[in-house]
Amino acid sequence: MKKLELILIAGVIVSMSGLAQASGSKSGSKKVIDDDMSRRGPGSTSGSGDTVEANCAVDPSGNAWQGATATVEVKQKGTGSEVEIEVEGAAPNTLFTVWLRVKGTGGLNPLGSPLTGGGATPLAPGTALDDLNAISPWVVPAGASSSANSFLTDSKGEGEFEIDLDFPVVGGAYPFQATATSRPGHEGHPNVPTAIADPRVAGQSGPFLLRVVSHCVDGASHGLSPYVREAWFQYP
């Protein structure tokens, strides 16, 4: 009887193990990026011309938060991605936003985002575009305390950003077709899927694939526009 019980128990364990493996393979996302992000050098300006040193809280060590670090992990399966970014030692109690580069050089997307003409777009699902547009600088009211591509650091300067996306970050295209909106003056550009500019790919070049910026001046996200911001981290 004991032998039979042991056989039955072993069978249950094997069965449960098989189910767990099947479940794992069903979720089956492949990790395509798992790396450190680079910290921008002292005095580095953002696209708005602002710097961490000029706009953000004083670093007690006096080195303008150069000890801050960030890591990025990207998993992909099919037409979707999962992105996780962790930040440590950055300015405390501060709003940050995450951006994806779409404007490349060498003939790749010379117009950039069809919605704004900018070189980057929020790292957010295409389904979030309408909400992001509603808090952009060209729409009243401008700015919000949070957005799909934002996160806050805590009192220690630590923060985490996690998001599920409806497109592949690596080797994919941003789904601008998910909205009919456009910035005034850009109505002539069709909202079509736009290839992501990845400087790691041969024949492409650009300043980054992903970038993390802060908003120390007003503590607000500005939707489809990064607006006034300070550059902190980027990948690669």
Tens of pLDDT, residue by residue over 132-164, are 999 999 888 789 999 999 999 999 999 999 999
Answer for the pair 103, 118: CB distance below 8 angstroms, yes or no: yes
pLDDT of 187 reads: 67
**Tokens at 50, concatenated:** 């602002």
182 contacts: CB under 8 Å, gap ≥ 6 = 114, 115, 189, 191
Virtual CA dihedral for 157, 162, 166, 170, nearest 10 degrees? 70
Tens place of pLDDT per residue across the chain (236 aa):
444 343 333 343 333 334 333 333 346 889 999 999 999 988 889 989 999 999 998 888 888 898 999 999 999 999 999 999 999 999 999 999 999 999 988 778 988 999 998 999 999 999 999 999 999 998 887 899 999 999 999 999 999 999 999 999 999 999 999 998 877 776 667 899 999 999 999 888 779 999 999 999 999 999 999 999 999 999 99
Strand partners, 210: 100, 235
Answer for the pair 126, 176: CB distance below 8 angstroms, yes or no: yes
Nearest to 148 by CA among 159, 135, 157: 135
DSSP 81-116: EEEEEEEESS-TT-EEEEEEE---STTS-TT--TTT
Nearest to 95 by CA among 197, 216, 189: 216
Listed by start position, the domains of the chain span 29-235
Cα-based distances in Å from 85 to 17, 24, 201: 31, 22, 22
pLDDT of 25 reads: 37
